Structure 1
Amino acid sequence: MAVLAAFLVFPLLVGQAEHKLMAHMQGRLGPMYAGGFHGWAQLVADGVKFVQKEDITPRAADRTVFRIAPFVALVPYLLALGVLPLQSGVAGVDVPASAVLVLAATSVGALGTLMAGWASANKYALLGALRSAAQLVSYELPLVLAVASACLAAGTLSLSGVVAAWSPWWLLWQLPGMLVFLVAALAELQRPPFDMPIADAELVMGPWTEYTGLRFAFFLLAEYAGIVVFSVLFAVLWLGGWRGPFDEHLGWLWTLLKGFVVAVLVIWFRVAWPRMREDQLQRLAWLFLLPLALIQLALTGIGVVMTQ
């Protein structure tokens, strides 16, 4: 129940933070004044808007796949959040290879986007799904290699074990892996500047073009849930998780604060960077991130062998 409550609250908080930060960065007045004090009612207004819209399924769509796609995109992030430790011994489910489980769950979540594009019977949605498939295949490998490097350095696939083995000098030793993970996570989430599958100027809304009402809202919620999962995972793997002053009592707070800083960075990328071209996106993955991740993994292996 606690994991479910966090799953319903944290993505909404990230969405609200995105509204406010983008409003500040871009000088947008609307989200800052809706409802009075600091625009507190903007999130409520968005929720009411989604609820009152009609749920429409295109006549030519594959109805079964079309309707379950939002849940396929959303539910795996609930599973991933359930195994992320906020403090030593504080997690929904403590599993030995939690890093592998998180990566597997987030990979399954990407299938929801592919299902939505294929089942919509819309050429723009199908093109967006094809772009999404190419992007996910390209960036999944650097992401996994970056996580493998951190786990190799710690000598365990348990996220709690990684935090126990973490030391501040990881910020230098594992810096290339950190950068690879951050960039690859943005691409996995299809967030700007890697939002080619949902390029509104070209593909309307990509795989989500035919979705309305709550089903469309579930896709947005899945995106924000993905930001929460990847931000907390980044904090656990490379920022020491709950390690900090008074961590025996406030460890969970340190994890959430570090994760929130990473989430703000993800939002900043959306505001500050223009969308990449498809060829630039693929070139970055295969010619830069993948070799860098392999070099980081090799250096980590050498370092582990030399210190034993």
Structure 2
Amino acid sequence: MAEVLDAAVRLLVIVLVFLVLPLVVGQTEHKVMAHMQSRLGPMYAGGFHGWAQLIADGVKFAQKEDVIPAAADRRVFALAPGVALVPYLVVMAVIPIGPGLIGADLDAGLFFVLAVMGIGVLGSIMAGWSSGNKYSALGGMRSAAQLMSYELPLVLAASSVAMAAGTLSLPGIVEAWQWWWLPWQAVGAVVFFVAGLAELRRPPFDMPVAESELIMGPMTEYTGMRFALFLLAEYVGIVVLSALTTVLFLGGWQGPWLPGPVWTLIKVLALAFVVIWLRVSYPRLREDQLQKLAWIGLVPLALAQLALTGVVKVLMA
């Protein structure tokens, strides 16, 4: 009974942490972008620096009419936001926050995470196909192209860490991590993070959305809470990507003086800030530039990192 209660408490803590973090990242994006672009940003909702802006946005979305276009495939159109969001929520259950603080420790946790994250991109493809809108369909096609291009370097970079640690368990990778991995696995870390941004369709990899060309891409025909679910999926995806990069390349909960979960949160929030920073700093890539970066840039780098890891493991054996 005590073990069941302990597991329930740990799962509750993990759920609360990962439910709050996407909202924190969303509010941070409002304010960080405002400061970087020398503008005020939301200032009035809730009083102090507009702290309740996301709550106000949620109320606004809840009040909007839920419209389904006449030409849409109604079932697929309705399912798409859930398919975009739920996989990222499932992934959160296997990401360790601290020693023993994990929802489910899977022996093949890394494979599970990479497989489930790939499903989330299908929500965007489903939305684009089912909307009955040519701009949405084009956005869905671009999402599919990005998924096929950036999934390979993402998996190769993650495989390098698994090879170095000798395990596919995420807590096992954190426990095997050493500080000297930072320079050794730096190329893999950059490849993983950049490929993850492309999977999330975050700027500068937001060609599937491209407001100036496709209105909102796959989300053009969505309103109300369905549209809000797509936005929430984006913020949850940022937290998942930051948490995975922390676990695989930055030692997870490892760090001096502070408790392990605190170190995990610090690293996750720092990487989420980098995601926001990149959005403000770089223009959107053209489709040809986006594909060239994947196949000519990231894939060779990921293969080189994988080969280097193999050589180091053989020399250390």
TM-score class, shorter? over 0.9
For 2:280, the equivalent position in structure 1 comes to 271
Question: 1:185 aligned to 165, 182, 196, which one?
Answer: 196
For 1:262, the equivalent position in structure 2 comes to 271
- Superposed displacement of residue 32, structure 1: 3.2
For 1:140 and 1:222, the matched residues in 2 are separated by 18
CA contact (8 A) 1:20 1:32 kept: no
- Superposed displacement of residue 197, structure 1: 0.1
Q: Quick one: which amino acid aligns to residue 258 of structure 1?
A: K
For 2:108 and 2:43, the matched residues in 1 are separated by 43
CA contact (8 A) 2:156 2:302 kept: yes
For 1:193 and 1:56, the matched residues in 2 are separated by 30
Task: Give yes or no for the alignment of 1:42 onto 2:53.
Answer: yes
- Superposed displacement of residue 204, structure 1: 0.2
For 1:9, the equivalent position in structure 2 comes to 20
Report the more deviating stretch, 29-38 or 227-236.
29-38
Q: Quick one: which amino acid aligns to residue 174 of structure 1?
A: Q
For 1:189 and 1:277, the matched residues in 2 are separated by 16
Question: 2:90 aligned to 55, 71, 79, which one?
Answer: 79
**Equivalence map 1:211-226=2 (5 Å):** 211-226=222-237
Report the more deviating stretch, 196-205 or 159-168.
159-168
**Equivalence map 1:113-192=2 (5 Å):** 113-192=124-203
User: How many equivalent residue pairs?
Assistant: 306
For 1:41 and 1:298, the matched residues in 2 are separated by 49
Per the alignment, in what secondary structure is the counterpart of residue 125 of structure 1? helix
Per the alignment, in what secondary structure is the counterpart of residue 287 of structure 1? helix
* TM, length-normalised to structure 1: 0.97
For 2:41 and 2:53, the matched residues in 1 are separated by 8
For 1:305, the equivalent position in structure 2 comes to 314
- Which residues of structure 1 form unaligned runs of 5+? none
- Superposed displacement of residue 107, structure 1: 0.3
- Which residues of structure 2 form unaligned runs of 5+? 1-11
Report the more deviating stretch, 1-10 or 64-73.
1-10
Q: Which runs of 4+ in 1 moved over 4 A?
A: none
For 2:262 and 2:13, the matched residues in 1 are separated by 15
Report the more deviating stretch, 33-42 or 278-287.
33-42
Q: Deviations over 1:139-191 (max 9, x none)?
A: 00000000000110111111111111111111110011011011101101100
For 1:6 and 1:63, the matched residues in 2 are separated by 34
For 1:59 and 1:180, the matched residues in 2 are separated by 42
For 1:298 and 1:206, the matched residues in 2 are separated by 38
Q: Quick one: which amino acid aligns to residue 291 of structure 2?
A: Q
CA contact (8 A) 2:157 2:189 kept: yes
CA contact (8 A) 2:31 2:41 kept: no
For 1:264 and 1:39, the matched residues in 2 are separated by 19
The sequence identity of aligned pairs, in percent, is 64
For 2:108 and 2:216, the matched residues in 1 are separated by 36
Q: Deviations over 1:224-274 (max 9, x none)?
A: 000000100001111111001246xx1111111101100000010000100
